[in-house]
């Protein structure tokens, strides 16, 4: 079976005959096995706000036994895939996936771009639909749904921030200021208002990290491997800031969609399972044969195949 989808209220596994084919295939092939998961190196982009820190300095900060965000993503998707990925000499992000991720840092120009300009970008919907989705976020959708003003999402405080937690490390594509949080139906604080009632008046509202996926989201919620990665990001940022980080935004800039992952009992349990799995791999895990296999880049090396009933019976 494919990865679990977390919707915030319940979880479900995508079923091929009910989920749109573009969602299932695109996200399984792009966002999980070959893009989000291949970010397991979690290298800092030279254009990021963290670029001035040397790799040697970063490596000395990583505790023994810490697992990269990308490895956790793969562990949640398929442990055997993680086993093969760890044996790769080059685990950098493919250029095609990087170009889709980079869209998340160009919202101000994309939201006003004409059809010709958008046609040259690696977006999935038509230019008209894509522009409308971004404008909906800009014109109040981002504030109403997530309690975050558009300006924070489009111009974050930190970009491609390298985070080191107690058990995991890697890149948070954005870190938004929690002090920019606004009132929502769920009761978030208004910009500039007192947070005494929240019991955290000294520090203000917690920052909001963002995970950027080059893939396509499910109809609702977030794929389990990306949920695991989001929780890992929150845990690492919480360790860095010494405070709880209750949620993460997951951006799908190639389709103009933003989702939210809250740290709940279920999502945290999924993260812990993936952490145990990633730490426990010391040889090839058992093969599986399901809808995760066709889009996997290691399917030929893995040897997974679909056998007919006749062949299984030895006829």
Render each residue's pLDDT in the chain as its tens digit; 315 residues.
555 666 654 444 332 222 233 333 333 333 443 444 334 445 545 444 454 455 555 555 899 999 999 999 999 999 999 999 999 998 889 999 999 999 999 999 999 999 999 999 999 999 999 999 999 999 999 999 999 999 999 999 999 999 999 999 999 999 999 776 554 444 443 333 333 333 343 458 999 999 999 999 999 999 999 999 999 999 999 999 999 999 999 999 999 999 999 999 999 999 999 999 999 999 999 988 888 999 999 988 887 554 444 444 554
> Which structure tokens are listed for 315?
């006829």
pLDDT of residue 3: 58
pLDDT for residue 182: 55
Planar angle of CA 28, 24, 92, nearest 5 degrees = 20
For residue 162, what is the DSSP state?
E
- The structure tokens listed for 230 are 């989001």
Q: For residue 268, what pLDDT is reported?
A: 98
What is the model's pTM? 0.78
Residue 4's pLDDT is 61
Scored b (16 or more CB within 10 A) or e, 97-119 reads beebbbbbbebeebbebeeeebe
The reported pLDDT for the residue numbered 260 is 98
Domain positions in the chain: 5-304
Instruction: Say if residues 160 and 171 touch (Cβ distance below 8 Å).
Output: yes
Residue 101 has a pLDDT of 98
Q: What number of helices (H) and strands (E) belong to the chain?
A: 14, 9
- Sign of the C-alpha dihedral, residues 2, 5, 10, 15? negative
The tokens describing 239, both together, are: 């360790």
Q: Which helix H or strand E contains 157, and what residues bound it? A: none
CA 116 to chain centre: 29
CA dihedral 95, 99, 105, 111 (to 10 degrees): 180
Please report the pLDDT score of residue 54 as a whole number: 52
């Amino acid at each position: 079976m494919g990865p679990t989808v977390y919707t915030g209220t319940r979880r479900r596994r995508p079923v091929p005959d009910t989920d749109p084919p573009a969602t299932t295939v695109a996200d399984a092939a792009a966002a999980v096995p070959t893009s989000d998961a291949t970010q397991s190196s979690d290298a800092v982009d030279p254009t990021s706000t963290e670029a001035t820190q040397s790799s040697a300095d970063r490596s000395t900060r990583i505790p023994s036994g810490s697992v990269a965000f990308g490895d956790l993503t793969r562990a949640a998707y398929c442990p055997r895939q993680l086993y093969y990925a760890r044996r790769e000499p080059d685990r950098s992000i493919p250029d095609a996936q990087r170009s889709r991720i980079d869209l998340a840092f160009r919202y101000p120009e994309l939201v006003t771009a004409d059809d010709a300009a958008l046609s040259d970008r690696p977006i999935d919907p038509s230019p008209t639909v894509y522009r409308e989705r971004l404008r909906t976020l800009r014109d109040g959708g981002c504030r109403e749904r997530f309690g975050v003003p558009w300006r924070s999402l489009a111009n974050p405080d930190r970009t491609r921030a390298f985070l080191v937690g107690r058990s995991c490390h890697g890149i948070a594509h954005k870190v938004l200021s929690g002090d920019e949080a606004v009132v929502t139906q769920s009761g978030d604080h208004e910009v500039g208002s007192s947070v005494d009632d929240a019991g955290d008046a000294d520090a203000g509202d917690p920052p909001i990290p963002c995970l950027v996926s080059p893939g396509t989201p499910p109809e609702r919620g977030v794929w389990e491997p990306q949920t695991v990665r989001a929780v890992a990001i929150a845990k690492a940022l919480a360790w860095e800031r010494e405070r709880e980080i209750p949620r993460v935004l997951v951006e799908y800039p190639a389709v103009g969609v933003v989702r939210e992952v809250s740290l709940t009992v279920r999502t945290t349990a999924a993260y812990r399972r993936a952490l145990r799995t990633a730490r426990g791999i010391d040889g090839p895990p058992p093969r599986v044969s399901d809808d995760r296999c066709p889009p996997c880049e290691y399917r030929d090396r893995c040897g997974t195949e679909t056998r007919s009933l006749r062949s299984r019976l030895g006829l």
